[in-house]
Amino acid sequence: MGKPAVDYSVYLVTDSTRAILGDRQLASVVEDSLKGGGVTVVQLREKTGDTAHLISVAKELQQITRKYNVPLLINDRVDVALAVGCEGVHIGQDDMDLATARTLLGPDAIIGVTVSTVDEALTACEGGADYLGIGTVYATPTKTNTKEIIGAAGVREILGRIAEAGYGTQTVCIGGINASNLQRIVYQCAAEKKALDGVAVVSAVMAAQDPDAAARKLLGLVRNPPPFKADLRGEGSDKADAESIVTQVPSIVRRVHDTTPLSHNMTNIVVQNIAANVALAVGASPIMAGYGEEAPDLCKLGGALVINMGSVDPAGLENYLKALRAYNLAGRPVVYDPVGAGATSIRRNAVKTIMANGYLDVIKGNEGEIKTVFGSNQEQQRGVDSSSTLGAAQKAKLVRELAAREKNVVVMTGKTDFVSDGVRTFAIDNGHAYLGLVTGTGCTLGTAISAAIASRQSDRLSAVIAAILHFEIAAELAAERPEVRGPGTFVPAFLDELYLIRQATANNDLAWLARAKVS
């Protein structure tokens, strides 16, 4: 016979609790999910019930899975798998050990193991597991007694380490995966040399009104690259030195000027006005729209979204998530400004929720905010005192690690700004102290960045750096004007300089750029 080849793309885990199944029959929901080819492997998971009952359910499902030619695995119960003669089992860390299961089931059985740490993963690979179920990715109401929420970053670390150790073991991830987050999760989970082979879901298929359509949709998403992937790097992304990055700046500034991209700002009331004016000054078209229901229309206009975390009440957060989903689905860029991220537990939770629910092309914050964002996904960061000041090397390391983890661009603002795409990291020493004395200037940098990444043709990191240089050099030029005597007179001069820089750039006058201090 030999071991069957398994396609792990869409791995359905059953659940017959009422919350998931409602009044429907388990077998009919499973059959529905299989009939259009959306589900590629089924695991029967029953946490209660007598052995006789479990065997009869397994036999019933086996008839269906055979009909559609997909493997059936049994959660935990090696005896049930043996009794029905199905393709294999899935075992958790507290279930029968892998070696014993293998001895009982034989070499041709498919045996999968749940892992949530690198050690568990390496042990399972070493022990000859056919695949790993890695999780829990995100908290899920379907299974509340999960051991550890590891996020996409945790999955990525495990994939990286098993690839490094030379194992080709197949992998799926599980926990909170659905059609709206699947592509982003698969993308963020991928390590350099190993990607997931599929995703395991319960509710996304079992609880769906139409399990067939839901499963086919998931399969389509697994098999197609995410919209933001194609958008990740472009011309110039091979340039790793500061000089060649700066060389790209004029074309990026000019392109904003020429294309007038939409900058969709979901921002706090304090900065609405100045953010809209900064957008206009750099050549973008601002819309200040906090209502998430508008995002599916607005994201089609070729712009970028700024989520400036001013409103963290439940309604505000829900609006952010709706907009984030819409922009992610459309493959349009999102800039996240986690304002006051560490200030309250509500804000810390909002950061976690936003990070877990979407892909953020750029995260921009001050030192404390970036630390909080970094810690939102990593246990060991809990103890970091956000008032402690990191040295330059530590800041560079933090932005690089966060960007590598999130597969995006991270900006840490400060007297010196640090910018990284996870591979290339730069320090920018431009700007003026007046920026810190005017409310909302930090926030409006996010707006300027959104304009640059919305209209860019070059790679994302260069676009972000172009926006920062445009913004901070304008501040320097404004502060040096004779009429500017403090933060009040600074604001109109700053808007003027933003405008004048892009006009000059459009006319090929690049004198301003000589001030760029990028290293």
Q: Kindly list the catalytic residues.
A: 443
Residues 373-412, one symbol each (x = binds Mg ion by CB under 5 A, - = not), give ----------------------------------------
Non-local CB neighbours of 300 within 8 Å, separated by 6+ positions: 330
- Binding ligand 3NM (rule: CB under 6 A), the pick from 38, 112, 135, 290 is 135
Q: What is the dihedral of CA 452, 458, 462, 465, to 10 degrees?
A: -20
Residue 174 binds which entry of Mg ion, ligand 3NM, none, CB below 5-8 Å type-dependent: ligand 3NM
Q: Site size for ligand 3NM, by CB under 6 A? A: 18
Q: What is the dihedral of CA 152, 156, 162, 165, to 10 degrees?
A: -160
Contacting range for Mg ion; rule: CB under 5 A; set: 23-31, 56-64, 71-79, 394-402: 71-79
What sign results for the dihedral spanned by CA atoms 28, 32, 33, 35? positive
Give min distance, CB of 134 to ligand 3NM, in A. Answer: 8
- Binding ligand 3NM (rule: CB under 6 A), the pick from 204, 280, 452, 495 is 204
Closest chain position to Mg ion (CB): 92
Residue 146 binds which entry of Mg ion, ligand 3NM, none, CB below 5-8 Å type-dependent: ligand 3NM
Q: Read off the DSSP letter of residue 96.
A: S
- Binding ligand 3NM (rule: CB under 6 A), the pick from 54, 202, 280, 281 is 202
Neighbour-count burial of 500, counting CB atoms closer than 10 A to its CB (0-12 exposed, 13-18 middle, 19+ buried): middle
Residue 143 binds which entry of Mg ion, ligand 3NM, none, CB below 5-8 Å type-dependent: ligand 3NM
The residue among 58 and 312 lying less far from ligand 3NM, judged by its C-beta, is 58
Residue 355 binds which entry of Mg ion, ligand 3NM, none, CB below 5-8 Å type-dependent: none
Between the two ends of the chain, the Cα-to-Cα distance in Å is 61
The residue among 201 and 427 lying less far from ligand 3NM, judged by its C-beta, is 201
The residue among 155 and 479 lying less far from ligand 3NM, judged by its C-beta, is 155
Of residues 286-315, those binding ligand 3NM (CB under 6 A): none
Give min distance, CB of 74 to ligand 3NM, in A. Answer: 13
Give min distance, CB of 96 to ligand 3NM, in A. Answer: 16
Contacting range for ligand 3NM; rule: CB under 6 A; set: 168-176, 264-272, 355-363, 452-460: 168-176
The residue among 138 and 434 lying less far from ligand 3NM, judged by its C-beta, is 138
- Binding ligand 3NM (rule: CB under 6 A), the pick from 114, 267, 277, 462 is 114
Of residues 326-355, those binding Mg ion (CB under 5 A): none
CA atoms within 13 A on the CB side of 387: 1
Task: Name the strand (E) or helix (H) holding 41.
Answer: strand 41-44
Please state whether the peptide bond connecting residue 171 to the residue before it is cis, i.e. omega within 30 degrees of 0.
no
SS3 (DSSP) at 90? strand
Give min distance, CB of 161 to ligand 3NM, in A. Answer: 18
- Binding Mg ion (rule: CB under 5 A), the pick from 92, 127, 220, 414 is 92
Give min distance, CB of 50 to ligand 3NM, in A. Answer: 21
Burial 319-329 (b: 16+ CB within 10 A, else e): bbbbbbbbbbb
Task: Note whether 87 and 130 are within 8 A (CB).
Answer: no
Contacting range for ligand 3NM; rule: CB under 6 A; set: 63-71, 175-183, 413-421, 474-482: 175-183
201 touching ligand 3NM, by CB under 6 A: yes
Q: DSSP letters along 189-206, please? A: H--SS---SEEEESHHHH
Partnered with residue 27 across adjacent β-strands are none
Residue 201 binds which entry of Mg ion, ligand 3NM, none, CB below 5-8 Å type-dependent: ligand 3NM
Between CA 224 and CA 201 the distance in angstroms is: 18
Task: Note whether 331 and 297 are within 8 A (CB).
Answer: no
Burial 388-417 (b: 16+ CB within 10 A, else e): eebeeeebbebbbbbbbbbbbbbbbbbebb
46 touching Mg ion, by CB under 5 A: no
15 touching Mg ion, by CB under 5 A: no
CA atoms within 13 A on the CB side of 55: 10
Non-local CB neighbours of 117 within 8 Å, separated by 6+ positions: 148, 158
The CA-atom distances, in angstroms, between 316 and each of 259, 325, 364, 365 are: 30, 14, 19, 19
Residue 76 binds which entry of Mg ion, ligand 3NM, none, CB below 5-8 Å type-dependent: Mg ion
- Binding Mg ion (rule: CB under 5 A), the pick from 46, 76, 197, 421 is 76
Number of other residues whose CB lies within 10 A of the CB of residue 156: 24
- Binding ligand 3NM (rule: CB under 6 A), the pick from 10, 12, 13, 279 is 13
Residue with tokens 């740490």: 117
120 touching Mg ion, by CB under 5 A: no
- Binding ligand 3NM (rule: CB under 6 A), the pick from 62, 142, 248, 413 is 142
- Binding ligand 3NM (rule: CB under 6 A), the pick from 174, 281, 463, 513 is 174
Q: Which residues bind ligand 3NM (CB under 6 A)?
A: 13, 45, 114, 133, 135-136, 140, 142-143, 146, 174-177, 201-204
Q: Which residues bind Mg ion (CB under 5 A)?
A: 76, 92, 95
